[in-house]
Amino acid sequence: MKKINVGLVGFGNVGSGVVKILRQRKTFLREKIGLEINIQKIYDKDITSKRDVDVDRSLLTRDSKKILNDPQIDIVVELIGGIHPAKEYIIEALKKGKNIVTANKALLAQNGKELFALAQDRQKNIYFEAAVGAGIPIIKSLREGLVANKFYNILGIVNGTSNFILSQMSNNNFTFKAALAQAQLKGFAEKDPSLDIEGIDSAHKLILLVYLCFGRLVNFSDIFIEGISQISLADINYAKELGFEIKLLTIAKKEKEELEVRVHPTLIPRGHLLSSVTGIFNAIYVSSDLAGNLLFYGPGAGQLSAASAVVSDLVDLTQDIRAGLFRPTLNIRVDESIKRLRRIDDIESRYYIRFMAVDKPGVLAKISGILAQSGISIASVTQKERSKAHVVPIVMIIHEAKEKNLRQALEAIDRLAAIKQKSVAIRMEEV
């Protein structure tokens, strides 16, 4: 066997990048792997718009069946995104005896159990390196490089759009609205950015990371998700004064028999490596028993970064196909010590809290009293200078408290006549 034929489903930004790499590095790759990776056919609904790579028009088709039904195609690369019709294309390709490479984290997070089971039944593989962290080789590292390890924690900045927005707010004093507009202008954010800024994209990626580390395919509904749209410039600046940066963090923690999975804005000490991850860059911090603490860092978006991960998967599959081997993509060992998922109400954390209160005697005492009634102790408190409206921010750091107790206390505090805005509470991670 000297040639592996590939069918590309989706000829957008990443798809064009894959074609570009395979063409520009054709000889380079052939010398490295001893095979030629040949693009047999490219499917897209739009085959007329100009791309930044030229291809023979005979390779293009609007008919997906010309890829799915072609017996000469060994691997189908799915890059159209979304659930439908991507799911149907992958199912059909597996049934026709083709291996799969995909970057579709939403599909795998929602339907991974079904798709991986079908792949196993058909003795075919689904590779998905580009689904998390673009070109950062986190999937391969967890699956192969750290195969002997047991894992304790995963902390990740895995959404470039949100990280760019928070970086602009922190470094350039942008408001959230202005930072989002800048992200959209640069092409880092969609016209509707809700999947990114509300934490949904991060949650999809967390599901895959949890599966690789702990062998449990959690449901989307199992993850507590809170986005960054309510983070103000004031909170960013107050956090900096206290020695922290605010990041949208994906978190998975194993605590004895429980696993907690959550996505939310988090205060990280400025001395930690994760706090220095800026712009569209991603970073995944993994704690393991043998290799210790590891940080995987790199651009979390970009045509060639994501396409590089797709080509990496293609190369892995070519070696399997040539050797006639079937290596289950997710031959995952389930961590049987995990008995249940921890609810967000039971999470314990330190918190940053900001109250907007009328500047008059006794208000701070009332706030402190309500917190004390819920068993919550204050580590530090700062009352900012008086404004013209005589409403001032009171910023607190509280000692570790249970989420349920804090929420009950904040509801009571927000009912006070002296509190003029809903209180802001942001969790802290002492990483």
Average pLDDT over residues 51-80: 96
- Which pLDDT score, from 0 to 100, does residue 302 have? 83
Average pLDDT over residues 136-161: 94
Domain positions in the chain are: 3-134+303-323, 139-299, 344-428
Domain covering 344-428, topology: Alpha-Beta Plaits (3.30.70)
Q: Tell me: the pLDDT tens digits for 99-115?
A: 999 999 999 999 999 99
Q: Which of 277, 278, 245, 251 is nearest to 263 (CA)?
A: 251
Average pLDDT over residues 254-271: 95
- Which pLDDT score, from 0 to 100, does residue 381 have? 94
> What is the architecture of the domain spanning 3-134+303-323?
3-Layer(aba) Sandwich (3.40)
- Which pLDDT score, from 0 to 100, does residue 216 have? 87
Higher pLDDT residue, 1 or 66? 66
Whether domain 139-299 has CATH 3.30.360.10: the reply is yes
Of 205, 247, 253, 254, which is the active-site residue? 205
Average pLDDT over residues 37-61: 95
Q: How confident is the model at residue 1 (pLDDT cuts 50, 70, 90)?
A: low
Q: How confident is the model at residue 389 (pLDDT cuts 50, 70, 90)?
A: low
Average pLDDT over residues 53-82: 96
Average pLDDT over residues 376-396: 84
Q: Tell me: the pLDDT tens digits for 226-261?
A: 999 999 999 999 999 999 999 999 999 999 899 999
Evaluate whether 116 touches 330 at the Cβ level (below 8 Å): yes
Look up 65 and say whether it is catalytic. no
pLDDT value at 422 more than 90: yes
Q: Tell me: the pLDDT tens digits for 317-354?
A: 999 898 888 877 655 677 888 999 999 999 999 999 99
Residues near 199 by beta carbon (within 8 Å), at least 6 away in sequence: 159, 162, 225, 226, 227, 228, 248, 263, 264
pLDDT value at 383 more than 90: no
What does pTM read for this prediction?
Answer: 0.94
